[in-house]
Copies of this chain bind each other. A is one copy, B any other.
């Protein structure tokens, strides 16, 4: 056997939830998409050699490192994939870009606007030298979401009047759920806002082609203290169990205006009992409407308002036809995709951009803009919900 394609070695930092799903994407993309380059799973990096070695064996990474600084300097690494918590994104990404490595970085881009600005600056400097960077807002790559964008871009929705975006989860409803890193501001930057709110901010911008002009917000932390994560995996939950403060939001609500004149509402929460991963977006325009819910990720609902009222209604498009975004690579109609495939599509687009010498999206500038929205939300929430304009770049 032989294969003349040039290879690109991937070095990935982080091996937990995101690390696993990114690993699977790198392993899978070449089997389904005819790419101009071939990624290799070169190096996996994590602080615990034992743990990172186990994951590397599972997914077929060729080598491991325990220090990301070693990883970014390896000759067999051309792409650095950052799957760590947000507090380390800036340092790793900037160093990798300066070392001439293409960078795929998990969202949110950073924990602060300042960090994001530095990263975006580094990305712009690197791009000038042909080094590419992208933020991993994977939900853009759900075929139904990409189809939504196409329908908007094709003018099927008309002038956008309303956006209703929610990202609802319920994994911390129980007050005894422990104080994991995602509930700590120093590690995660913010709570539901940055973790899942960032996804809907980006997805709405992606689908509508418009940005939020400003926001008015309320945030809340319902459970102020939780068992320490270590403690919770130890002995039973009585008496002396140690607790620590939750330093991020449990939920964030905000309303705002789109640059095109429409109104938008957003909600990100981990307290929506029974909603598991309900990333939902509804868009109402002068010519039509769209509705998506990730819990039924292979479906896009489309209302064509130009049809006679007697024959119109929201139709359930099963986004698995060959003509749908990404779908010619997969199975016959009706044989749906899963969560992991959003990442397959993401690395497919990233690799294609690298090979073609174009800048992939969402760029670090796009990620910076999301960060600005997150900051505007926090500022409004802290200032009596007063409307805060979002600086556009």
Contacts and interface: CB of A to CB of B under 8 A. Distances in A.
A265 B253 contact: yes
B385 A21 contact: no
A56 B278 CA distance: 38
Given A332-B17, A333-B171, A274 B286 contact: no
Interface stretch (A108-116, A127-135, A216-224, A364-372): A216-224
A121 B15 CA distance: 47
| Copies of this chain | 4
B27 A27 contact: yes
Interface string A122-143: 0000000000000000000000
Interface string A227-263: 0000000000000000000000001011111000101
A272 B262 CA distance: 12
A277 B222 CA distance: 33
With a 10 A CB-CB cut-off, give which of A171, A284, A299, A302 has the most chain B CB atoms.
A284
Interface string A289-303: 100001111110011
Contacts of A302: 311, 313
Interface residues of A, number: 99
A48 interface: no
A34 to B, nearest CB: 9
B284 A273 contact: yes
Nearest to A269: B162
A353 interface: no
A62 B45 CA distance: 28
Interface of A: 1-3, 17, 21, 23-24, 27-28, 30-32, 53, 56-60, 62, 147, 161-162, 164, 166, 168-171, 173, 216-218, 220, 222, 251, 253-257, 261, 263, 265, 267, 269, 271-278, 284-289, 294-299, 302-303, 305, 308-318, 320-321, 323-324, 331-341, 380, 384-387
